[in-house]
Amino acid sequence: MVRFEGEKDFPQTPAELWANLTDARFLARCIPDVESVREQEADHAALVLRPGFAFVRGTLDVTLRVVDAVAPSAARYVIASKGIGSSADVEATVALAPEGAGTHVRWTAEVKTLGGLLKMVPAGLIRGAAQKVVNDAWAAVEAKLNAPATGS
């Protein structure tokens, strides 16, 4: 349907980065527009989002599942969202490779299905909105990874 891909470099080692990228609790803190987190475990999280897109009203119930995690080199995610009159299923993958002292990440995300009113939204609008969410999520991952650790 709609597919995105890209690459990003991080200063963390593959093992350090993989530990965060396969922790749904960490990822839940990086997803834009989260209103609340209803459930979070290492391999899944249930969130309520209030997306800032004119074509999606209200909130979306989102479930993120980390599947097919292969330490420290790859992971696959399944993301399902449901709202009033809309639904979407997205699958994403990351592949991590050492690069210097850090890690090179190749990622893909694909919107597998759109339901309800989202089927009526032009593909270009879906692509632009999804690309913004992906970019904002990667920026949040980077910010959280680079934030100074707070100790007690």
Instruction: Give me the mean pLDDT over the 107-117 stretch.
Output: 92
> What pLDDT shows up at residue 62?
96
pLDDT band at 138 (very low <50, low <70, confident <90, very high): very high
pLDDT tens for each residue of 59-74: 999 999 999 999 999 9
CB 66 within 8 A of CB 43: yes
- 3-class SS letters over 92-136: EEEEEEEECCEEEEEEEEEEEEEEEHHHHCCHHHHHHHHHHHHHH
User: Of 84, 69, 55, 57, which Cα lies nearest the Cα of 27?
Assistant: 69
Q: Is the pLDDT of residue 75 over 70?
A: yes
Please report which residue ranges of the chain form alpha helices under DSSP H.
14-21, 24-28, 123-146
Q: Kindly indicate the confidence band of residue 7, based on its pLDDT and cuts at 50, 70 and 90.
A: very high
Whole-model pTM: value is 0.89
Residue 74: strand pairing partners: 70, 95
- The residues, any chain, with a CB within 8 Å of residue 116's CB and separated by 6 or more, are 85, 86, 87
Tens-place pLDDT, residues 114-134: 998 888 888 888 888 888 889
Strand partners, 91: 78, 110
Instruction: Identify the residue with better confidence: 140 or 54.
Output: 140
